[in-house]
Structure formats: C-alpha cells, structure tokens
Structure 1
Amino acid sequence: MADGDAAQVAHSFNKILAQPAKRSSRDVDESVKKLRRLILIEGIPSVADGTLRHRIWKIFLRVADLPVETFLDYVARGPCEVREKIRNDTFRTLATDRGFTDRVKEDMLIRLLDAFVWRNHDRQEYNQPCFTYVQGMNVLAAPFLYTMPSELEAFFCFAKFIEEVCPTYVQPTLEGVHHGLKLLDRCLKIVDPDLYAYLRSKNLSAELYAFPSVLTLCACTPPLDEVLRLWDFLLAFGVHLNVLCVIAQLLLIRDDVMRSSSPMRLLRTFPPLEAAPVIGIAVTLVRDLPPDLYEELVRHPYEFKA
C-alpha cells in the first residue's frame, strides 16, 4: 500500500473511531460493522498510524475499563503457583523475532501471566469460570504485549480474550484445540477431498501437522507483522476462522504437498505467513461448508461440550 493510500485508509479508520463516546448500542454496532468492512477490504495501515491496531482491538474485545489498582494488586502478589511452568515457556516465546524481543521482554510476559493466574484465583471465590496457565498461553499473550501501549492494556485485553473469546482453547485438556483440529479435518474433506485423501493415505491428520497453528491461532508462524494482520481479521470476524486460515495455508502449498512422498517434511514448518491471501481463501471457504458444520466451527472456541 502506497503512503498516500495508507494515510487515506488510516483517515477512514480514524473517522469511525472518532465517534462520540456516548452512543446507542445500535450506533456502536454500526461502527463495528464499518471497522470490519475496512479490515477485510483494506487492512489496518499500522505504518500510517501506529495507534490504530490497539484501539481497534480494544473495541472488538469490548475492553473499556482498565482498573489500574486491580492489576497492580495482582502484580504485587509476585509469583503464582505455576510460575515455573510459565518460565519454562516464556523464554522461547517468538524468540527468533528480533522486533518482538526488542519490544517485549521476558519479565513482561511472566508478569502478565502471573497476574492472569492470580486474577483467576480470585474468580474461584465467586464461583466464576476460572483458568490457569496452560501450554500455548504464552504465545497467545505475545501479540497483546507487542500491540498494546501498556502492560495494563495488554493484561485486560488478554484476560477478556481468554475468558470470553476462546475459553475452550485454554482448558487443561486443550478441549477446544483438539475439537478445532477435528473440525479442520472435516472441513478439509469437504473443500478439498483429494488433498484430504492424500494426507490420510500418509496417515496424516490435522492433529499431527496443524496442532501448533490451531493452538496459537497461527501466532507460531512468522513473520509477526503478518500474524498481527491475521489477528485483525480473527478479532473482527471470529477466532473460529483460524481453522479455515490453516486450511488456506495448506492450499497455498497444495501442489508441493501432493507431489511429496513425505508431506510431513513440508508440513512440519509452514512457509512464512502471508495474511492477505490466507484471509482471501478462508473467506471463500466459508461458502463451501454445510451450515451445521459452520455453526459448530463458530461455537467451538467458546462452547464447552456437554
């Protein structure tokens, strides 16, 4: 996107964001629809305005209140009961991305995750659904710490994201992740039966090649700037679409996979992420899915199985 075009798109986003604070829910919903449309058509031009992404993410997550004292209280409590488990993961979080490691230090990740565990320790007292640290949570926290201008904002956005957007993904059994992987196989069988059959002939299910991509909502696949563009889309339209985004990445290397006698060698590490074509393919795949399957896909990140 040229500088002039990016500035014009940034202006369009800012025009929507500049609406008066006190508005009806109908007006708010209309603004969200406009933001979604712009994200799908243009994408967020973060170079033209570095404040856009974090402001838009907060709107999609409906994060408005940022109680400083609450966060400081969690931080003041120090290490939570699973601190060692957290530290076993945080040191390798996006470790090969220099831009990330320059901006987000390990102690920031540890502090946020400690605070999140303390927050949910308190929620137990009120019989609310609660969480602890599980595999992959460090990577899910990383984009928030990188994008938000403060740890405070990153913490409350991350907490809202985990507790309301994808709670099944962070259960001790990773229930939602495994459900998502089964859905990936079912969707692939419909949208590309030949590719599905070839992978199955090699005893390859999504559990074997797509686990990291589903677990982290593709945040494990560099580069980070493309991950953020993909997350713009997922936060706007629903994280359930990540399953179709993983299929889109498969389709982009389909010919190589079908020619390979050992496709797992290719699938062990996906090529660098390119958000625009992945999103474009994912959107078209929605139309190919039966309504009942798509409905199950929509609900799986937040609805627990009976």
Structure 2
Amino acid sequence: MSAAHSLNRILSKPKADDGANIRKLRRMILVEGIPSNEDPTLRPRIWKILLRVADLSADSYLHYVSKGPCEVREKIRNDTFRQNSGNRPRLQRACSRGYADPFTRRLCLAKPWQVTPGMNVLAAPFLYTMPSELEAFFCFSKFIEESCPLYVVPTLEGVHRGLKLLDKCLKIVDPELFSHLRSKNLSAEIYAFPSILTLCACTPPLDQVLQLWDFLLAFGVHLNVLCVIAQLLLMRDELMSSLSPMRLLRTFPPLEAMPVIGIAVTLVRDLPPELYDELVKHPFLL
C-alpha cells in the first residue's frame, strides 16, 4: 500500500482529527513524508487537520476583504516573490486573486500580534500550499495565533528566546562546535536570526521548506530551533575548519528536509528535560 493511499484512508475517516489518527499522521510524516507529488491534495488537507482548522467562515473572511489592502500589502507581496522566485508564477496568481489583502488587513487590525519582519516569509507556505483563499487565510491565522504568537509580537519575544535557546542547546549537543563559534564571537543572534524568525522558510528550495513544515506542524514549531542546529551539524566540518565561519553562515546551504528532521529528532534525546520544556513553550508562553 502506497503512502498516499494510507494517508487518504486516514483522511477519509469521519474523525480524521482524533488522537489516534493524528498519531498515525505524525508517524507517517516522520518516516515517509507527505507524498505530495502523488496526490497534491494531501498536504493542504493534512495541514488543516494538524492546525485544527474546521470553521471556514466566509463572512469573517469577506469582512477583512471589504476593508481593502493595508499599507504593508505591497511589502509582503514583493518580499514573498523575492524569497520564492522559483515559484513566482504560482504566487503571482495567488496574490493577484487577492490572497494578500485579507491576510494583511487582519494583521493590521489585530492585537497583540502585528505585521513584523519575517511575517511575509511565514505567509508564503500557506499562499503556495492552500487551494483556496479561504483555507490559506484561516490556516495562516490559526498558525500565527496558536503555534507561534510570540514570534509576531512587536518585540519578537519568541524569536529572541529561540535564539538564546539555540545557543543553550548547541552548547549541550556539540560543545566543541559551540566553543569554536563563540571563539569567533558568533552567537545565534548573529548567524541564525533569519532561520529562527522564518522557521527556516528563508532557506530554499521551497519544496524542502514545505516538507520541513509538515514536520513542524505535526510535532511543534519549537523544534525549528533543533532544525537550525541540524543544519549547522550538516556543515560542521566546514565550520570547524574555517577561520571565518560567518562567511559560511551568511547563506546556509540549500535545505534538505529529511536529513535535518532526522538529526533534529535525535537531538531531542540529548537535552535535559527542563531545557526541552523551555524549548516547547518558547513560541507561545511567556
């Protein structure tokens, strides 16, 4: 039985979002990934289940549409195109149909989360993946409000906490690499800010970003910190032998989702329980 067939069997059940089926989805995402090439409907359906998006209120959506575009709409659209130039035609069609307007209008009106640096890149996977304006809007809103609200407050509290946690975790899982980077005055605040801010969506290619986000939506946004460490470990030899590792860290190598996920999962076992608990809470709990 193919992975696509197995996933479709789970998704076709009346209670696809109950605990047992969620566990099956998570296991399949971890072991096999979502075979989106076989069935392009799988990823959007699974993301809606993982985010528990059930209420797609057209009235609520149209309320934000009726407000018209806000002042940051062009920035979000232009930055999204720049970040995902290889997929520009599809994103161009999405924004021309009006995806960006209700997104940005809700962001402009909502409190306490606001339009912040990086939110344009966080929106891109939803703009690309979801088949309708309604689904993209509600999935993105649910994601921001529940999965990582502290990443989009004006102070970027969750992002800065994530960067500090990256240093703490790296010091435990690879003290030699941590010491080497610190000897060059490199902390996570300096080299990992874009990757933490955007949940690795700043590192192409987009298809690998989507595969990594399957994992983050299934198991928790907090694991992005370990995914960034995994990318460091994949380039460890070059970093350790470099007299100027920042030159390598300015632009991370192209993302490879499955190796990164595999390393991140193994790193969880190396962390003290209290540190992992802090990691889990940092995107949403003060």
What do residues 244-264 of structure 1 show as CA deviations (whole Å, max 9, x unaligned)? 000000000000011111100
Structure 2: distance between partners of 1:15 and 1:228 = 22
1:276 Cα shift? 0.5
Q: Does 1:303 align with 2:285?
A: yes
1:79 Cα shift? 2.8
Counterpart mapping for 1:61-72 below 5 A: 61-72=51-62
With the length of structure 2 as denominator, give the TM-score of the two structures: 0.95
Q: Runs (4+) of structure 1 moved beyond 6 Å?
A: none
Structure 1: distance between partners of 2:265 and 2:189 = 23
Q: Does 1:40 align with 2:22?
A: no
**Paired residue total:** 283
Structure 2: distance between partners of 1:243 and 1:180 = 6
Q: Does 1:117 align with 2:104?
A: no
2:219 is matched with 237
Q: Does 1:20 align with 2:14?
A: yes
Q: Does 1:93 align with 2:83?
A: no
Q: Secondary structure at the match of 1:93?
A: helix
Question: In structure 2, do the counterparts of structure 1 residues 94 and 272 end up closer, same or farther at CA, with 3 Å as the change threshold?
Answer: farther
User: Match of 1:36, as an amino acid?
Assistant: R
CA contact (8 A) 1:117 1:132 kept: yes
2:208 is matched with 226
Q: Secondary structure at the match of 2:279?
A: helix
Q: Percent identity?
A: 66
Structure 2: distance between partners of 1:215 and 1:253 = 21
Structure 2: distance between partners of 1:77 and 1:240 = 34
Q: Secondary structure at the match of 1:19?
A: coil
What do residues 84-105 of structure 1 show as CA deviations (whole Å, max 9, x unaligned)? x443343122525344211112
Structure 1: distance between partners of 2:116 and 2:108 = 14
CA contact (8 A) 1:214 1:243 kept: yes
Q: Secondary structure at the match of 1:95?
A: helix
Q: Secondary structure at the match of 1:100?
A: helix
Structure 2: distance between partners of 1:173 and 1:161 = 19
Which sits farther off after the overlay, 247-256 or 89-98?
Answer: 89-98
CA contact (8 A) 1:94 1:220 kept: no
User: Match of 1:62, as an amino acid?
Assistant: R
CA contact (8 A) 2:150 2:158 kept: yes
Structure 2: distance between partners of 1:231 and 1:176 = 18
Q: Secondary structure at the match of 1:104?
A: helix
1:158 Cα shift? 0.4
Query: Which runs of 5 or more structure 2 residues have no equivalent in the other structure?
Result: none
Q: Does 1:102 align with 2:84?
A: no
User: Match of 2:23, as an amino acid?
Assistant: K
Structure 1: distance between partners of 2:207 and 2:184 = 33
2:49 is matched with 59
With the length of structure 1 as denominator, give the TM-score of the two structures: 0.89
User: Match of 1:28, as an amino acid?
Assistant: D
Q: Secondary structure at the match of 1:285?
A: helix
Q: Does 1:273 align with 2:255?
A: yes
User: Match of 1:301, as an amino acid?
Assistant: P
1:189 Cα shift? 0.2
Structure 2: distance between partners of 1:240 and 1:196 = 20
1:4 is matched with none
1:130 Cα shift? 3.2
CA contact (8 A) 1:136 1:216 kept: yes
Structure 2: distance between partners of 1:72 and 1:99 = 31
1:185 is matched with 167
Q: Does 1:253 align with 2:235?
A: yes
CA contact (8 A) 1:66 1:156 kept: yes
Structure 2: distance between partners of 1:89 and 1:145 = 11
CA contact (8 A) 1:75 1:114 kept: no
1:9 is matched with 3
Cα RMSD between the aligned structures?
1.6
What do residues 159-202 of structure 1 show as CA deviations (whole Å, max 9, x unaligned)? 00001110000010100000000000000000000000000000
Counterpart mapping for 1:132-143 below 5 A: 132-143=114-125
Q: Secondary structure at the match of 1:62?
A: coil
Structure 1: distance between partners of 2:77 and 2:198 = 14
